[in-house]
Chains A and B, each alone.
Chain A
Amino acid sequence: MMLAIELALSIFLITAAVIVVLLRDIIASIATFAALSLGLAIVWMVLGAPDVALTEAAVGAGVMTVLLLIVAGKTQNHRLESPYEAQRPFRKVNWIALSAVTLLLIPLIVFVRQFPPLGDANAPSVADISLAGNPTPYWYYVDGSETPATFENIVGAVLIVFRGLDTFGELIVAFAALIGVLIILRHQIVPFHSQSGLDETTRQRTNYHDKPQPGFSPVVTTAVRRVIPLVLVFGGYTTLYGTVVPGGGFAGGVILGAGFILLGFSFGFEALSRWIDHRVLGMVLLVGAALFVGIIVGPLLFSGTLFEISIIPLDPRVVGEAVELGIGLLVGSVITAIVTGMAVFSNTEANLEDSNTTREDA
């Protein structure tokens, strides 16, 4: 039964990937890619990785799709790939590239064949004792004796206690990505209020709760208005309870960010940037970073080492939740800021008109 599900998922993934690659219409391609990510989230569930599945569902089907769609929307005259070909839905197969890739894949297949079979309980990575005769890291993580009592979710424990330095580096990379995007686009990120030419009073009088802007479907706005509170509550729950159930700062932060992006996507990022000031977003990011850094550096005050969070004389549950909350706030605000920055990007001169019509369509 399990094998049948796994094989069906494998066939789905390969079919979806082939369609993504061959479709000429870039927006159809992005939609298929979102479906592929959702299928992948189910694969993670089948493989016993609910934490990864939560994150993948929010990122692959949510944030990534929105990012790609924003760029596709801003470049809409170039929606079709290689417009000089005859009108066909799929690209021609490039046999030279295909054979080159196939040649590269032969060593990869040989390499994959060296792996222990899927699900083998005696595979070196999950065996009781390594080839050298020591207990494997796997047992160190899963037997629970070294895990602080609050961390029932071992993935959370690995992320924060055992491999905390990796998580710290990862957050720095996420922050660097945000800075990178803002620097690359710096001359063209124009806040909406300076574009639209409305003065302060006119802006305040426009009530977006009652009257959806032209171009935004009432079906979408009504549905989103009902769904958004649930998304945000679920994001908060996933963040705080990441120490006990699957989830945690990364999954929860991405879900929170995806909630705000959904809001921006259905009501317009113009409205979103009015509801959430960019200074508030920056503040949330700083609070998240301060919480995380504060708690990993905190043990030094009590003559412990970095990341030895069990030494902090507070309820360990509170400490665990604070770290998760810090990660969640940081990841959520970085993702919201990246997508909003991308959405308020406006093309210079010649392309400006093009991008304005696109925003209304989005």
Chain B
Amino acid sequence: MNSLFQYHFYYVFVVLFGLGLYTLLDSPHLLKKVIGLNLVQISVFLVFVSAGYIDGASPPLLSANPPFANPLPHAIVLTAIVIGVGLTAVALALVLKLYDEFGTMDIQEIEEALANDE
């Protein structure tokens, strides 16, 4: 039980990752799949920032008192968040295009329409 309180954010990572993966597998709605992708992404950020934390650490500013949290994962996550917006935007553009083509957001209906075409 003790280890639960020393690893809680890592377990949150596992749960969020699983929920994102579950959404990608289960949900037929295209927007929901994009949200699932974002859940997976968020969970990975959580691992990075958690791994850089030291008990009682202050933010990585030279004017603050040491110890500092590890600044390297922060820099990586900062850029990854902005990349994540770009990734989501491209995914959503493809979703819009699919909706325009098939008139539905349901991936199963799109697959049926494709199968009927052949």
A14 to B20, CA, bound (A): 11
A261 to B89, CA, bound (A): 14
Main secondary structure of the interface of B (DSSP, over half): helix
Say yes or no: A20 contacts B67, CB within 8 Å.
no
Say yes or no: B89 contacts A10, CB within 8 Å.
no
CB of A90 closer than 8 Å to a CB of B: no
CB of A177 closer than 8 Å to a CB of B: yes
Say yes or no: B81 contacts A105, CB within 8 Å.
no
Which of the segments A194-202, A302-310, A340-348 contacts the partner chain?
Answer: A340-348
Say yes or no: A51 contacts B78, CB within 8 Å.
yes
Q: How many residues of B contact A (CB 8 A)?
A: 86
B117 to chain A, nearest CB (A): 18
Q: Using Cβ atoms and an 8 Å threshold, which residues of chain B touch A70? A: 92
CB of A82 closer than 8 Å to a CB of B: yes
A343 to B64, CA, bound (A): 43
Say yes or no: B67 contacts A52, CB within 8 Å.
no
Q: Using Cβ atoms and an 8 Å threshold, which residues of chain B touch A115? A: 7, 10, 51
Main secondary structure of the interface of A (DSSP, over half): helix
Say yes or no: A246 contacts B59, CB within 8 Å.
yes
Residues of A within 8 A of B (CB): 3, 6-7, 10, 13-14, 17-18, 20-21, 26, 29-30, 33, 36-37, 40, 43-44, 47-52, 55-56, 59-60, 63-64, 67-68, 70-72, 74-75, 78, 81-82, 91, 94, 97-98, 100-102, 104-105, 108-109, 112-113, 115, 117-121, 123, 125-126, 137-138, 141-142, 144, 147, 151-155, 157-159, 163, 166-167, 170, 173-174, 176-178, 180-181, 184-185, 188, 244-246, 248, 250-251, 254, 331, 334-335, 338-339, 342, 345, 347-348, 350-351
Residues of B within 8 A of A (CB): 3, 5-23, 25-29, 31-32, 34-36, 38-39, 42, 45-47, 49-63, 66-72, 74-79, 81-90, 92-97, 99-100, 103-106
The 5 A-B residue pairs with the shortest CB-CB distance in the complex, in nearest-first order: A177-B86, A48-B69, A119-B55, A117-B6, A154-B60
